[in-house]
Amino acid sequence: MNSLSLIATTLCCIVVFGGLPFSSNAQLDPFFYSKTCPQLHSTVYQILFDISRTDTRMPASLIRLHFHDCFVQGCDASVLLNKTSTVVSEQDAFPNANSLRGINVINDLKTAVEKAPISLLLR
């Protein structure tokens, strides 16, 4: 194994196993929404299921929408911001013109989740 391959392999192992001093030790809770919004998963599932039955391309369009959001400066949901007097929306950018299918589905999901009962039992 040449030295460049050895260095690359070593760095990959360090990153994967968390040995770097700047690695993240975030304590994400996979059950967070089951505590704060117990209806979240079933609400999102039902809307996506219904949409995919009427428009079979929508799941792929949602993945593409996620890609467009994450591609340039990271996954920050900036592509979902609507144009206002103070916000220049990425939805209106030339590369995205007529190609961001699924924003209406995201808005429907957001509305449905906001209407779902919220638990006040935060840690």
- 114 assigned binding-site residue: no
Q: Which two tokens stand for residue 109?
A: 């999901």
Whether residue 41 lies in the annotated active site: no
Residue 92: which of 110, 80, 74 has the closest Cα? 80
Q: Find the catalytic residue in 51, 62, 65, 68.
A: 68
- 55 assigned binding-site residue: no
95 class by beta-carbon count within 10 Å (0-12 exposed, 13-18 middle, 19+ buried): exposed
Distance (Å, rounded) from C-alpha 33 to C-alpha 116?
A: 12
- 69 assigned binding-site residue: yes
Annotated binding-site residue numbers: 69, 72, 74, 76, 78, 90
Annotated binding site for Ca(2+): 69, 72, 74, 76, 78, 90
- The residues assigned a catalytic role are 68
